[in-house]
Amino acid sequence: MSVLVKPTLALPPRTPESAKISLLYAGVLVLMAVAQLFTFEDFIVYVNSLGLPLSPEATYLVAPLLVVCEVFALPFLLRMWLSPAFRAVSMFLGWAAAGLWISLTVWIVAAGAPVSTIGFLGTLVDLMPGYWAICVSLAFGILAAWSSWGLWPGKRTDK
């Protein structure tokens, strides 16, 4: 009996398109995470200025949580050698990243937060908030769903 977890190779994707979609979503997450980490101090201040309905301590956790979800979703999307449990965690974090962005963009647009950027690229590039940002966040959710369907880490029951 081995105490150490053994990494396994990911199952082949269901379709070639799902493999391409997962690479697209991984590229978007890398771009966003690098831009957010490049201006991380300002990004934390930006997230705190949104007026989220959270305690002051909890708002300081949102920005790091976003970046952690984006970074740790990459191993699943890139089909790296992983333990089965971490493959499932990484898939969940891809969903969490999309869910957090959907929540943030809906809050920014609905509350009319007085900010000059939506935050996809941190505070590096000013992207004006608007309904387009909600559509982009929903697209992140679609990319996460398609990637999860195509690269599902468990046993498949294809007929």
Q: Could you tell me if 106 and 134 are in contact, meaning their C-beta atoms sit under 8 angstroms apart?
A: yes
d(CA 75, CA 86): 9
Percent of the chain at pLDDT exceeding 70:
96
Complete DSSP assignment for 87-98: HHHHHHHHHHHH
pLDDT at 61 over 70: yes
pLDDT of 158 reads: 59
Query: What's this model's pTM, rounded to 2 decimal places?
Result: 0.91
pLDDT digit string, tens, across residues 132-158: 999 999 999 999 999 999 998 777 665
Confidence band of 8 (pLDDT split at 50, 70, 90): confident
pLDDT by residue (tens digit) across 12-45? 899 999 999 999 999 999 999 999 999 999 999 9
Which pLDDT belongs to residue 91? 96
What values do phi and psi take at 61, rounded to 5? -95, -15
Structure-token pair, residue 91 = 């898939």
Q: Return the half-sphere exposure (C-beta side, CA atoms, 13 A cut-off) of residue 127.
A: 19
Write out pLDDT tens, residues 75-116.
Answer: 999 999 999 889 999 999 999 999 999 999 999 999 888 888
Confidence band (pLDDT; 50, 70, 90) for 5?
confident
> What's the pLDDT band for 1 if we cut at 50, 70, 90?
low
Indicate the SS3 state at residue 82.
strand
Task: List, in order, residues 6 or more apart from 14 with CB less than 8 Å away.
Answer: 149, 150, 151, 152, 156, 158
